[in-house]
Structure 1
Amino acid sequence: MGTLRSAAAWGGALWALLLATLGCSAGQPLGGEPTCTAQPLAKYSITFTGKWSQASFPKQYPMFRPPAQWSSLLGAAHSPDYSLWRKGQYVSNGLRDFAERGEAWALMREMEAAGEKLQSVHGVFSGPAVPSGTGQTSAEFEAHSRHSLFATVPQDTVTEITASSPSHPANSFYYPRLKSLPPIATVTLARLPQSPRAFPPAPGLGGGGNEVADSLPAPETPLDCEVSLWSSWGLCAGPCGQPGAKSRTRYVRARPANHGAPCPGLEEEAPCVPDNCV
């Protein structure tokens, strides 16, 4: 099973990728017939929770054109010989279109083709997009109940997705006061009871899968004031032959938020002696 979700960011787009594999037993031969069709299928729910808010990431938070948002949830239950993406390898054209533009049709055709030719994809599932930076979307799917991932982790699993901690002040996720950044999203994987009447709704969702919930609480991340470098000193002003003063200025690059450090002075003066008297 692979899932991918994307978010529009300031000055462009921030795309993030989550990939996991679910399928038949590890001993299944590559390209062979699935060995787990005779075993009962287990039903699972996957819930993506976006936590990208102005309170959690106030620096350069995208408000419009485009605002902070997450794309639709798309994944597949498949055998071990198939993957949507592998680390260190180029992505397919369909996955590239989904990550860069949020268009899922080419990726869905690729998964369907793998299911028809290789018998590797056993089912495709999807969930609606989240139109803001915070909210939830979920989907339900079936996979082999004896998969090693669920045999070792019987209870619900929650995976946090965090942005990298950049070292440059111009980056939107540069928060030097924080030892670690808060999660930008979480993915919850849960096994559902076999009875269709006993399916619990995903956390935060009123009616179960394939829904979107907004206005989730988010932690407040302090943002310190950021100022530019000082300008060069101006001309020395004052009466000829007497001590004068010169000044330099700087401007605010980012205003403080969530109880961050206030802005320092934006103007500075220094004594001088006029060197050009008229």
Structure 2
Amino acid sequence: MDASTRISSPSDALLHLVVVTTLMLSHGVHPMPVPTDVPMCTASEPAQYSLTFTGKWTQAAFPKQYPVYRPPAQWSNLVGVTHSSDYHMWQRNGFASNGVREFTEKGEAWTLMKEVEQAGEQIQSVYGIFSAPAVIGGTGQSNTVVEVFARHSYLSFIVRLVPSPDWFVGADSMDLCNGDQWKDSISLELFPYDAGTDSGFTFSSPNFETMPQDKITQITSSFPSHPANSFYYPRLKHLPPIAKVTLTKIRKTNQIISLPVKPTESNLLLTGNEIENNLIKTPLDCEVSPWSPWGLCKGKCGDAAGLQYRTRYVLVHHANNGAPCPLLEEERKCVLDNCL
């Protein structure tokens, strides 16, 4: 394999670990009993797929608290596994492992890789690990190649939202096989999940550990039901997809799969899918603070009444034809005090 021995960045280190671990797992896989309660893949030959991850995290589609700096909206490396039906990297309504916790909170994949490697050695349910480079903006694409076998026809992956408390997108146990045939292509719209390990409501929330740990849940336009939540859009029935993954079967060759290339200007150009997503404009209503207390009653002694005022300020400006802000100041008549 044409892989450099010099590790120059965290992304390089992750890709190096993925390659080394994949080789260890692939050499250690032996026949294993297949559960009888799931469809069995009987494809006679392995298959290779081109996997494309597309970020669709735009400010138009997700205007509330959209991260524009320190850091701006972006995606972590994609980390995935090919496996049998008895393995789960993560599960909706299940508890995140320590590896998933570290990856979703900090973007660190070392513990997750060790968990995958251990599953491959102990119960031989994992065939290989793969990775795709990080997408350096809210929109963009990242690509890699994945190989699957009949006994390990399932694919799972995870990608962290950056910045976020512990939010991610991913897939759990996508079966690429249909009987004795490999599926030609699969396309899946992705929505955000909460790993249940950090209680932050916003993209830039400080670390606040969830005690006790919650289960992994999907974030929706109304859940968590709190106005501070960065994905809280009560006017929407459903959030627009924040990302997409596409798998396309490719002709198998005898060449060794090379490391996925790093993102370049050419493979980060907007595609038709992203242009389509840019047309999505989620309405964002104006949000204002509670009223301040009424101020002092002001006026001239001898007048029938004075005036006093109260104010409020804008918390979130409206966008994309959302409800505009109401009046920010009110006045009312009052009785003057301290007049002789």
Q: Do both share a fold (TM > 0.5)?
A: yes
Quote how far apart the aligned CAs of 1:65 are: 2.3
Matching residue's letter, 1:124: I
2:238 matched to which residue of 1?
Answer: 180
SS of 1:81 mapped into structure 2: coil
1:157 matched to which residue of 2?
Answer: 186
What TM-score do you get using the length of structure 2 for normalisation? 0.61
After superposition, where does 1:75-224 map in structure 2 within 5 Å?
Answer: 75-144=80-149, 149-151=176-178, 154-162=183-191, 163-166=219-222, 167-194=225-252, 211=263, 213-215=268-270, 216-217=274-275, 218=278, 219-224=280-285
Q: Please say if residues 312 and 329 of structure 2, whose CA atoms lie closer than 8 Å, have aligned partners that are also in contact.
A: yes
Q: Please say if residues 139 and 210 of structure 1, whose CA atoms lie closer than 8 Å, have aligned partners that are also in contact.
A: no
Matching residue's letter, 1:46: L
Structure 1 98/260 Cα, relative in aligned 2: closer, same or farther at 3 Å?
same
- Judging by fraction of residues, say which structure has more helix: 2
Matching residue's letter, 1:84: M
Give the counterpart of 1:73 among 75, 78, 85.
78
User: Could you list the per-position Cα deviations for residues 218-242 of structure 1 after superposition, in whole angstroms to 9, with x for gaps in the alignment?
Assistant: 2222222211111111122112242
Q: Please say if residues 25 and 36 of structure 1, whose CA atoms lie closer than 8 Å, have aligned partners that are also in contact.
A: no
Quote how far apart the aligned CAs of 1:53 are: 1.7
Structure 1 143/194 Cα, relative in aligned 2: closer, same or farther at 3 Å?
same
Matching residue's letter, 2:52: T
Q: Please say if residues 73 and 129 of structure 1, whose CA atoms lie closer than 8 Å, have aligned partners that are also in contact.
A: yes
Query: Which whole-Å CA distance do the structure 1 matches of 2:313 and 2:97 have between them?
Result: 45
Query: Which whole-Å CA distance do the structure 2 matches of 1:164 and 1:196 have between them?
Result: 44
Question: Is 2:292 the partner of 1:231?
Answer: yes
Tell me the matched-pair count.
Answer: 242
Matching residue's letter, 1:164: T
Give structure 1 stretches of 5+ with no counterpart.
1-23, 198-207
Query: Which whole-Å CA distance do the structure 2 matches of 1:102 and 1:165 have between them?
Result: 25
SS of 1:253 mapped into structure 2: strand
Q: Please say if residues 26 and 80 of structure 1, whose CA atoms lie closer than 8 Å, have aligned partners that are also in contact.
A: no
Give the counterpart of 1:264 among 326, 330, 333.
326
Quote how far apart the aligned CAs of 1:102 are: 0.8
Give the counterpart of 1:244 among 306, 319, 325.
306
Work out the percentage of aligned pairs sharing the same amino acid.
54
1:28 matched to which residue of 2?
Answer: 34
SS of 1:44 mapped into structure 2: strand
Query: Which whole-Å CA distance do the structure 2 matches of 1:177 and 1:38 have between them?
Result: 47
Query: Which whole-Å CA distance do the structure 2 matches of 1:39 and 1:230 have between them?
Result: 70
Structure 1 37/110 Cα, relative in aligned 2: closer, same or farther at 3 Å?
farther
What TM-score do you get using the length of structure 1 for normalisation? 0.74
Give the counterpart of 1:42 among 44, 47, 53.
47
CA RMSD in angstroms comes to 3.4
Query: Which whole-Å CA distance do the structure 2 matches of 1:67 and 1:149 have between them?
Result: 34
Q: Please say if residues 73 and 138 of structure 1, whose CA atoms lie closer than 8 Å, have aligned partners that are also in contact.
A: no
Matching residue's letter, 2:285: D
